[in-house]
Amino acid sequence: MSEIKTDYLVIGSGIAGLSFALKVAEFGEVSLITKSSLDNTNTILAQGGVAAVIMGDDDPENHAKDTHIAGAGLCHKDAVDVLVNEASRRIQELIDLGVKFDAKEDGNFDLAREGGHSHHRILHVADETGRNIQEILIKKVKDHPNIHIYEHHMAVELITDHHVLSNLQSAFNICFGAYVLNEKSGEVHIFHADYTMLATGGASRVYLHTTNPQIATGDGIAMAYRAGVRIANMEFIQFHPTALYEPGAEPFLISEACRGFGGILRNGDGERFMENYDERLELAPRDIVARAIDAECKSRGESCAYLDMTHLHPNKVLAHFPNIASHCQEKLKIDITQEWIPVVPAAHYVCGGVMTNLNGQTSMHNLFASGEAAHTGVHGANRLASNSLLEGLVFAHRAAKRVIEKKRNILNNVTIPEWDDTDVTNEQEWSLIRNNRNELQTIMWDYVGIVRSKVQLNRAVTRMTTLYEEIEEYYRRTRVSLELLELRNLSAVAYLIVRSAMRRNESRGLHFMTDYPEKDDKYLKDTII
């Protein structure tokens, strides 16, 4: 088995991983691994844009205030201040790389407004902002001589002193890289690195219905948890209010920007219902809008709500949302300028993750995290729309700056044992185990969704504990594969979400309990595991 030594190991190829890799590559060799292709990420699906104070009567204090309101009291002030005050510099870097954000005829940016924002501050490239940013970053990464790309390589486990020094992790607590599966050959390689960056993205595939791609299985969060790294606030899972209602198909995101552009939510009788739930109407934060749609559908016995764009100028709608218009026309024969769009909430974004400081450092030495896999403290109990791409940029930059400043090449004398891969999969048993994925997703959707209760959570924890132990036991005596690793990681993430939710007996942001419907300041703190 080969051992690959590198200065920096980057796990993940979204905006956080790619931007980090580009910056540290000026100072050393980078190995960038991704379990699929470089462009299969949540970043590429981001439609709305990037929130940043660039111009006009807006200022970073307004952006910070909006972030704190959306976060329901749990945002870390220092992290939010960093985010909003460093935003313009990171945006300028994207522009310098070649990202062309939409502008008006006068040359100024065509800033959009989304739910929870008090000002127009969303920079965008039509409704495919993430795709444009991702494609430019990928080109830069591919062109850099110090970045070595390993597609279809999946991290199995972080390598710690537990592996290297016979269970002395409590004394040293160091990350040495990762064991990585080459999906095509089936071999597990050692990637030995001075510094490791977890930029593995989200975990919303833990739910039955999600806007996330198949790869969003919480791999970085699960690996960090198994390595004893601190994880925080996993009970706060954001459900995007408006995914296209298309039974039997993968949920397609209908951007927040559609409501920011003037879209109106209606029930089956055509009534505008958000006025019954929040004075901000369709521009309330996502947790409120998602619960409103959920409540409206349940009380009326309807399968979906509707987003009405028909009162808006059709040419402007098509110019701003060409991808959404094309998808609705192709899949459902809906002309969004003439017909209402059927929408339902779907799991979308993990507001918790691997705890980091303001420089991306986790609770384990030489292990960093950024992007959706990280808990920086920015999002609190509910993410403000379009803060995610910005968070990835800002904190990946700070992490890169930190590791560049630190001394390197101090761990090269460590001997890392080869991966022990001697057992053979029992195919008949695997056919039973793989069914656990659907069961896991169904449990999470039914019992740990938009609205929760103690009864539901108790049922979930009982069933998830059994699944978790069953999958772990099977994993220990089986040769690894992509499908098994994803199932194992999903079970760990689901377990973290349920255990975290059990510890918060209040309703705050994205965590709404029917038997504890009010906020309780006793819980005005992070849930840390």
Active site residues: 286
Q: Write out 92-150 in H/E/C secondary structure.
A: HHHHHHCCCCCECCCCCECCECCCCCCCCCEECCCCCHHHHHHHHHHHHHHHCCCEEEE
Is residue 85 a contact partner of residue 60, using CB atoms and an 8 Å limit? yes
Is residue 236 a contact partner of residue 511, using CB atoms and an 8 Å limit? yes
**Two structure tokens written together for 285:** 């934060």
Residue among 355, 365, 429, 449 nearest 402 (CA): 365
Burial of 250 (0-12, 13-18, 19+ CB in 10 A): middle
Is residue 305 a contact partner of residue 243, using CB atoms and an 8 Å limit? no
Question: How far apart are alpha carbons 63 and 82 in whole angstroms?
Answer: 11
Question: How far apart are alpha carbons 396 and 16 in whole angstroms?
Answer: 5
Question: How far apart are alpha carbons 45 and 33 in whole angstroms?
Answer: 20
H helix and E strand count, the chain:
16, 16
103 CB neighbour count, 10 Å cutoff: 12
CA angle 226, 231, 235 (to 5 degrees): 115
Is residue 287 a contact partner of residue 382, using CB atoms and an 8 Å limit? yes
HSE, CB side, 13 Å, CA atoms: give it for residue 188. 19
Question: How far apart are alpha carbons 99 and 133 in whole angstroms?
Answer: 6
Is residue 21 a contact partner of residue 104, using CB atoms and an 8 Å limit? no
Maximum CA extent, the chain: 70
